A and B are shown apart, each in its own frame.
Chain A
């Protein structure tokens, strides 16, 4: 049973599955995970201790991705987030051509996938604009619950700065002008959607798949699909997409291992066979 771990900057996402139909999912706060669970242990046993702690049996096919991917010990197979999200999204959506936007806690990524190949990708790790943290900061600034903020879509004010810091200044200006809070919230959601559009404008208008925590923000998704002129595809597990990609990688590893044992070809089989779930998974905003 492969295990995939996406060790992100805000949350650690863990997935275990035997059939790729049922997924055991665990989500932990990264800071807590680092301070409480990543115990000193030998390089060999560290990951086993952590998994046992979570009630998971350590498996051969454990694959890790994310910022902290090397924390599980050198012996554990680590893949880049780009590969993990690519594989996760191909599987979750069943699409061959798409644009994947992954908006996590601290950074965002865009992948341009054509014919099941990543033709190009961009990463935004230098600025918080359009990330989960941006939304969190804004909610804190306005002193409202982030879930409440995420529902607002009507009459968005135009926030010109996608920069998190300057955006705050603009918002204070709106408050001083007594603009209704709803409109400011909608404006914040809209500015995130605008940021996404900026990142994908250069590509052909392929279906847009949104992953990561921001995909759960209904306001952003609605406003984004308005701007994009197409429904946005949210996979069933937007937050666990990277971890699912890791599980798929684990399966490939096992296959290579098995076939090399039997002296067969080293070529991993294409995992297209796992895509049966696609239709049920995709849903429009």
Chain B
């Protein structure tokens, strides 16, 4: 067992999250948000963690992210409270929370209303605020504090597709981490600012096949690098970008109603369609997780967008396999002019 002393101090502070939530509330309460997905996927033991969960009885026919989140919590005992998105994500998360409750972890549910009803959203948000005892004025103050960071993320995104100076995986990393700002907003902002400042000295990345990545972040590693080796570049990371709340609604509620991920697929398709036009994408890579309900949505995405789409499927956290490599190679090869 690790030295528990500092951990106990953290105990009350760190709050695990299963998906993006209005993180402003946690910062306002002086808590540290920890996106459990990121803990899982950045762990060198990620694959072993999934197996651990399976050994405990989680079905093999269940999405690995759920098992990864479960195991991440076991390995981070200082996290005793979890905010779970149980509407706007998936029913697997719901079942997971039941196991967590059984194990003595405090679970707070957060729901995105499927119909995007502002009043309902406000009610849910205020409930969350109530849990942490924070007022609107505090939350608004934090919103103003985070706002320039979100603007910088938008700049980074622009530098990816318009400035053409940012690699696909750099774009992915900064955006995917904006769900919890790595728990330290100040440090995150510093890193981001430094990164943006250094861009001025960078040469443009040569124009190649321009790709959009849609769907949840990849469970595979080595993905973006391999694409660039083949002469492609991801200049749009759909969901990761959504995590950064690019909507800039002029209040917190609007901002989270513009966030496409937890609502119906049509909002996402519209957002993707705009990116295809604006960013001049040659093709899309749709990543789907094995056993995830979102695989069904592939059908609609294909029906509603007329752009070449390669659908990939990933199960366990591991480097991309040969079959995926082969398919990516063929896809980029046919998109070459």
Partner of A119, one of B306, B323, B333: B306
List the B side residues contacting A168 at CB < 8 Å: none
Please tell me if A5 contacts chain B, counting CB pairs below 8 Å: no
**B120 part of interface (Cβ distance < 8 Å):** no
Contact B309 A119 (CB under 8 A): yes
* Residues A60-90 near B (CB distance < 8 A): 79-83, 86
In whole Å, how far is B309's beta carbon from the nearest beta carbon of chain A? 6
Given A120-B302, A123-B327, answer yes or no on A82-B309 (Cβ-Cβ < 8 Å).
Answer: no
Known: A80-B333, A267-B337. A114 touches B309 (CB 8 A): no
Q: Does B330 contact A (CB under 8 A)?
A: yes
**B309 adjacent to A120 (CB under 8 Å):** yes
CA distance A123 to B310 in the complex (A): 12
- The DSSP consensus for interface residues of chain B is helix
Number of A-B contacts (CB under 8 A): 38
Q: Is B302 a contact partner of A83 (Cβ separation < 8 A)?
A: no
- Also in contact, A82 and B333, with CB within 8 A (given A119-B309, A120-B302): yes
If A119-B309, A120-B308, A120-B309 touch, whether A79 touches B333 (CB-CB below 8 Å) is: yes
Q: How far is the CA of A70 from the CA of B31 in the complex (A)?
A: 55
B334 contacts A80, CB within 8 Å?
A: yes
B140 contacts the other chain (CB 8 A): no
Q: Does B315 contact A (CB under 8 A)?
A: no
A113 nearest in chain B by CB position: B334
Chain A positions 75-121 with a Cβ under 8 Å from a chain B Cβ: 79-83, 86, 114, 117-121
Q: A80-B329, A123-B327 are in contact. Are A118 and B334 (CB under 8 A)?
A: yes
Q: Are B308 and A86 in contact (CB under 8 A)?
A: no
Contact A81–B330 (Cβ < 8 Å): yes
Q: How many whole Å from B334's CB to the nearest CB in chain A? A: 4
Q: Which residues of B contact A267 (CB under 8 A)?
A: 337
A80 to B333, CA, bound (A): 7
- Compute how far the CA of A117 lies from the CA of B337 in the bound complex, rounded to whole angstroms: 10
Report the Cα distance A12→B307, complex, angstroms: 34
Total chain A interface residues with beta-carbon distance under 8 A: 16
Most chain A beta-carbon neighbours within 10 Å: one of B306, B308, B335: B308
A266 to chain B, nearest CB (A): 10
Q: Across the interface, do B330 and A83 meet the contact criterion of CB distance under 8 Å? A: yes
Interface secondary structure of A, over-half rule: mixed
Could you mark each residue 259-273 of chain A with 1 if its beta carbon is under 8 Å from any beta carbon of chain B, else 0?
A: 000000001100000
Q: Nearest chain B CB to A109's CB is how many angstroms away?
A: 9
Task: Please name all residues of chain B whose beta carbon is closer than 8 Å to the beta carbon of A81 when the two chains form the complex.
Answer: 330
Residue of B nearest to A270 (CB): B337
Interface members, chain A 124-180 (any B CB < 8 Å): 125
Interface set, chain B 303-337, CB cutoff 8 A to A: 306-310, 323, 326-327, 329-331, 333-337
Decide: A114 and B327 in contact? CB cutoff 8 A. no
Name the B residues within 8 Å of A119 (CB-CB). 306-309
> What residue of chain B has the Cβ atom nearest to residue A123's Cβ?
B327
Given the contacts A82-B330, A83-B330, A114 and B306 also touching, CB distance less than 8 Å? yes
Q: Complex Cα distance A82/B329, Å?
A: 10
Q: A80-B329, A123-B327 are in contact. Are A86 and B334 (CB under 8 A)?
A: yes
Pick the contact of B308: A83, A118, A123, A125 (CB < 8 A).
Answer: A118
B333 touches A83 (CB 8 A): yes
Alpha-carbon separation in the docked complex, A267 to B309 (Å): 24
CB distance from A7 to the nearest CB of B (A): 15
Residues of A within 8 A of B334 (CB): 80, 82-83, 86, 118, 121
A18 to B203, CA, bound (A): 42
Give, as a whole number of angstroms, the nearest-CB distance from A227 to chain B: 23
Question: A80: which B residues are within 8 A, CB to CB?
Answer: 326, 329-330, 333-334
Query: Chain A: which residue is nearest B334 at the CB level?
Result: A118
Q: Tell me the bound Cα distance from A213 to B307 in angstroms.
A: 31
User: With A and B bound together, what is the CA distance between A267 and B207 in angstroms?
Assistant: 12
Q: Name the B residues within 8 Å of A125 (CB-CB).
A: 323
User: What 1/0 mask marks residues of chain B from 280 to 322 whose CB sits below 8 Å from any chain A CB?
Assistant: 0000000000000000000000100011111000000000000
Which residues in A have their C-beta under 8 angstroms from that of B330? 80-83, 121, 123
Give bound CA distance, A123 to B328, whole Å: 12
In the complex, what residues of A have CB within 8 A of residue B309's CB? Answer: 119-120
Measured CA separation A121–B334 after assembly (Å) = 10
User: Complex: how many Å from CA A125 to CA B324?
Assistant: 13
What are 20 residue pairs bridging A and B, where the CB atoms are less than 8 Å apart in the complex? A79-B333, A80-B326, A80-B329, A80-B334, A82-B331, A82-B334, A83-B330, A83-B333, A114-B306, A117-B308, A118-B334, A119-B306, A119-B308, A119-B309, A120-B302, A120-B309, A121-B331, A121-B334, A123-B326, A268-B337
The 7 A-B residue pairs with the shortest CB-CB distance, nearest first, are: A82-B330, A80-B330, A118-B334, A80-B333, A83-B333, A119-B308, A83-B334
